[in-house]
């Protein structure tokens, strides 16, 4: 586990962060865990933080299909425990040292759910409080989205290195609803402009739908 990951700003930006990797074979995920979508993974990951059902989630996850297995990355403030469904050899956690965030440039990967909100009116013509969110798909809209998130998160993105990779629709089912998210992977190089804000952004994630496997920033330092 020599890559890094990321989460959004909190009051205590210097709190310890932990990076966990779980590898689960595709067969076990489908047959034993009955995984249907990333929300199911989120529910399974909760089991690594036992006794906290009434607390607010303070971790991010990212799930990637790797040949015949799933790789689940977890970025958390609390130290996770190996859940019963996870083989010992497939679970590993490490503390992310503070010096990891002292670099000025990183290679990054972000799996995100970029959207924009459209205005929706009431019957009387007044604007509804909550508009309708629609996915962003055009490259120019995606570039504008990641630049806004970067500016708010204490870093800038090098446009010459930036790739936007469509990852298709992600379907989800919860106890009371179902729907889809449109996944886009951003890859490229970033430069830190505000180290404190950047670390806080890493800790809390970028964008929406974090409970569905989005928002975790994977980082590799470029300057040693």
Q: Is residue 133 predicted with pLDDT exceeding 80?
A: no
Q: Given this model, what pLDDT does residue 170 score?
A: 73
Instruction: Determine whether 54 is exposed, middle or buried from the number of CB atoms within 10 Å of its CB (0-12, 13-18, 19+).
Output: exposed
Longest Cα–Cα distance of the chain, Å, equals 61
Q: Which of 58, 80, 98 is the last residue of a domain?
A: 98
pTM (whole model) above 0.75: yes
Residue 126 burial (10 A CB sphere; 0-12, 13-18, 19+): exposed
pLDDT at position 4, please? Answer: 44
Task: Kindly state whether residues 116 and 90 are assigned to the same domain.
Answer: no
Examine the domain organization and report whether 88 and 124 are in the same domain.
Answer: no
Do 163 and 137 share a structural domain?
Answer: yes
What sign has the CA pseudo-torsion 219, 211, 200, 192?
A: positive
Residue 8 reports pLDDT greater than 50: no
Lowest mean pLDDT among 70-79, 125-134, 143-152, 164-173: 125-134
pLDDT given for residue 169 in this prediction: 75
Shared-domain flag, residues 91 and 104: no
pLDDT average, residue stretch 82-104? 90
In this predicted structure, what is the pLDDT of residue 51?
61
Distance CA 119, CA 186 (A): 27
pLDDT confidence of residue 206: 96
């Amino acid at each position: 586990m020599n890559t890094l990951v990321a989460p959004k700003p909190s009051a205590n930006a210097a709190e310890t962060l932990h990076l966990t990797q779980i590898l689960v074979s595709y067969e076990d995920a489908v047959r034993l865990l009955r995984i249907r979508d990333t929300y199911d993974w989120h529910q399974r990951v909760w089991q690594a933080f036992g006794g906290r059902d009434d607390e607010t989630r303070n971790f991010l996850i990212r799930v990637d299909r790797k040949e015949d297995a799933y790789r689940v990355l977890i970025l958390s403030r609390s130290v996770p425990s190996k859940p019963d469904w996870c083989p010992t050899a497939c679970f590993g956690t490490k503390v992310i040292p503070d010096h990891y965030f002292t670099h000025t440039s990183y290679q990054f990967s972000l799996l995100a759910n970029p959207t924009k909100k459209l205005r929706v009116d009431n019957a009387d013509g007044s604007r509804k409080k909550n508009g309708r969110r629609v996915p962003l798909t055009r490259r120019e809209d995606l570039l504008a989205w990641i630049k806004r998130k970067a500016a708010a998160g204490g870093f800038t993105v090098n446009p010459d290195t930036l790739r936007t990779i469509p990852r298709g629709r992600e379907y989800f089912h919860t106890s009371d609803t179902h729907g889809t998210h449109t996944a886009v992977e951003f890859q490229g190089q970033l430069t830190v402009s505000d180290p404190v804000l950047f670390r806080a952004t890493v800790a809390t994630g970028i964008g929406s739908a974090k409970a569905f496997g989005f928002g975790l920033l994977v980082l590799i330092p470029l300057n040693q």
